């Protein structure tokens, strides 16, 4: 990491020496049969999650050019649209590449046969574009290269989990085979590599607090699907970059995220909310959670495919671990859809529903941004474990009950 730190310092010095009035130029070259005409857009994500388009250009004979000025280096997306009709399919026609824009002469070169598409396609080979002229992008590339072995390992593990556990189990309609052992083994391997990834990323952030690349990595760590840190850890992580970003919109955005996730950090007490029971009564969630026991809160909906795919596994878990409490909390807006799905899936354990749905105010108390979300509470009702689906739940229960 010392080499990366030196590179970050060099990038900052280079940026400081730039003539801010000069701004940036972006010269693009696209190759491939579809590269003759189209539009390109520069866009970035605002602190409130909206996409903001800041520049655009027309592609002529596979080339485009932009020029402008930004206040400081920042992560942008180059959005390439080759469609002549906006209702046309985006497949093979719309591409998106992220890179760090700064006030300097920058070139972008990409082959449309391999440029990343708007949506992930596992059957399509992709290659990142070649981007030159941005010292911040160079530093980001160096960071990605330092993480390549870990990222490649995690990708391979994810493929194994799908091919050796998820798909065979889903196709085994009669439950003739038990895939728990192989799933747990892969889950434990995944956990080790994810821990290595997190530790290396955190070390990078600590050593490069003033780099926007490190800042963005911190935002990514704290914006995961579920919070996997204690409140004290979150405060510590904020302190790594606070001094370098004092008085900036970036620190305000970080503080907004911290404010949302600390109430659901590991070790914090769950929020007691109003829920509806299958018999139509409105009760406090706490009335459904036994004290002194580990409990899983499973947020789901009838319309959520991954949620429904996980339920047969929860049925088997419920049958095997009678002393483990599952509380499934639906975010269905329509009660009839919820009732129908419970009967279809034979969900015989504790059930409840948040009546204002996935877009309402209630789920915000749990910082739920998508489903399924599965959270383990300890015997005191404090958040204890996250990411507890599939074999990851099996691994936890085997460790907890020693069977």
The contacts of residue 304 (CB under 8 Å, 6+ apart) are 371, 372
Question: Any idea of the CA torsion for 339, 342, 343, 346, to the nearest 10 degrees?
Answer: -170
Which pLDDT value is given to residue 361?
93
Strand ordering across the sheet containing 51-60: 94-101, 74-81, 37-45, 51-60, 63-68, 24-31, 105-111, 130-132
pLDDT in tens, 370-387: 999 999 999 999 999 998
DSSP for 279-338 reads: TS-EEEGGGGS-TTS-EEEEEE-TT-HHHHHHHHHHHHHHHH-TTSEEEEEE--SSHHHH
| 3-state SS, residue 81 | strand
Q: What is the mean pLDDT of the chain?
A: 91
pLDDT the model gives residue 1: 54
The b/e string for 211-225 (b: 16+ C-beta within 10 A; e otherwise) is bbbbbbbbbebbeee
Q: pLDDT (tens digit, 9 = 90+) per residue, 62-80?
A: 999 999 999 999 999 999 9
The tokens describing 255, both together, are: 């503080």
CA distances from 185 to 105, 157, 316, 328 (A): 49, 11, 19, 26
Instruction: Please tell me the least confidently modeled range out of 69-78, 170-179, 196-205, 342-351.
Output: 170-179
Collapse the DSSP code of 273 into the 3-class scheme (helix H, G, I; strand E, B; otherwise coil) and give the result. Answer: coil
Q: What pLDDT shows up at residue 123?
A: 80
In angstroms, the CA 107 to CA 144 distance is 20
Tell me which residue of 141, 71, 163, 65 sits closest to 105, measured CA to CA.
65
Over the stretch 24-40, which tens digit does the pLDDT of each residue have?
999 999 998 766 789 99
pLDDT class of 91 with cuts at 50, 70, 90: confident
Q: How many CB atoms lie within 10 A of CB 384?
A: 18
For residue 352, pLDDT over 70 is answered with yes
Residue 157 has pLDDT above 90, yes or no: yes
| Structure tokens that stand for 194 in this block | 């994810």
**Domain boundaries along the sequence of the chain:** 2-144, 153-259, 274-401
pLDDT band at 365 (very low <50, low <70, confident <90, very high): very high
CATH number of 274-401: 3.40.30.10
pLDDT single digits (tens) 180-190: 999 999 999 99
Question: Comparing C-alpha atoms, which of 383, 402, 381, 398 is closest to residue 293?
Answer: 381
Give the separation between CA 256 and CA 251, rounded to whole angstroms: 9
Region 327-332: what's the mean pLDDT? 97
| Interval 251-276: pLDDT, tens | 999 999 999 999 999 999 999 999 99
Whose CA is closest to 250, among 7, 69, 97, 73?
73
- In the predicted model, is pLDDT for residue 205 greater than 80? yes
Q: Residue 5 — pLDDT band, cuts 50, 70, 90?
A: low
Global pTM reads: 0.88
Q: CATH homologous superfamily for 2-144?
A: Transthyretin/hydroxyisourate hydrolase domain (2.60.40.180)
Of these ranges, 6-15, 163-172, 283-292, the one predicted with the greatest mean pLDDT is: 283-292
| Interatomic CA distance for residues 85 and 102, integer angstroms | 32
Residues in contact with 242: Cβ distance below 8 Å, sequence separation at least 6, in sequence order: 251
Residue 216 to residues 219, 239, 251, 271, 324, Cα–Cα distance (Å): 5, 15, 11, 29, 38
């Amino acid at each position: 990491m010392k080499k990366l730190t030196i590179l970050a310092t060099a990038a900052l010095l280079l940026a400081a020496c730039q003539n801010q009035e000069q701004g940036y130029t972006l010269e693009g070259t696209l190759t491939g049969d579809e590269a003759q005409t189209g539009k390109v857009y520069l866009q970035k994500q605002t602190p409130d999650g909206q996409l903001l388009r800041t520049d655009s250009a027309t592609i002529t004979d596979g080339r485009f050019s932009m020029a402008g000025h930004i206040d400081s280096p920042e992560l942008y997306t180059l959005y390439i649209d080759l469609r002549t009709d906006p209702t046309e399919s985006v497949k093979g026609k719309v591409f998106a590449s992220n890179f760090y824009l700064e006030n300097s002469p920058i070139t972008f070169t990409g082959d449309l046969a391999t440029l990343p598409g708007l949506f992930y396609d596992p059957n399509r080979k992709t290659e990142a574009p070649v981007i030159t002229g941005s010292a911040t992008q160079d530093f980001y590339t160096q960071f990605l290269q330092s993480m390549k072995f870990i990222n490649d390992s995690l990708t391979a593990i994810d493929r194994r989990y799908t091919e050796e556990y998820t798909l065979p189990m889903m196709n085994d309609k009669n439950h003739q085979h038990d895939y728990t052992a192989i799933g747990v083994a892969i889950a434990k391997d995944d956990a080790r590599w994810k821990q290595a990834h997190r530790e290396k990323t955190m070390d990078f952030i600590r050593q490069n607090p003033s780099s926007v690349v490190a800042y963005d990595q911190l935002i990514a760590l704290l914006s995961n699907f579920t919070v996997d840190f204690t409140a004290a850890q979150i405060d510590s992580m904020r302190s790594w970059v606070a001094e370098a970003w004092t008085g900036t919109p970036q620190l305000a955005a970080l503080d907004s995220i911290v404010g949302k996730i600390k109430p659901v950090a590991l070790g914090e007490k769950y929020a007691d909310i109003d829920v509806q029971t299958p018999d139509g009564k409105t009760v406090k969630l706490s009335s459904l959670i036994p004290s002194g026991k580990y409990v899983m809160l499973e947020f789901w909906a009838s319309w959520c495919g991954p949620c429904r795919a996980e339920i047969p596994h929860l049925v088997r878990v419920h049958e095997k671990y009678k002393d483990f409490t599952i509380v499934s909390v639906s975010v269905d807006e329509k009660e009839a859809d919820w009732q129908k799905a419970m009967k279809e899936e034979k969900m015989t354990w504790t059930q409840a529903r948040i009546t204002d749905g996935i877009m309402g105010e209630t789920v915000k108390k749990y910082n739920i941004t998508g489903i399924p979300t599965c959270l383990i509470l300890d015997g005191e009702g404090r958040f204890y474990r996250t990411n507890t689906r599939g074999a990851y739940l099996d691994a936890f229960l085997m460790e907890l009950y020693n069977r």
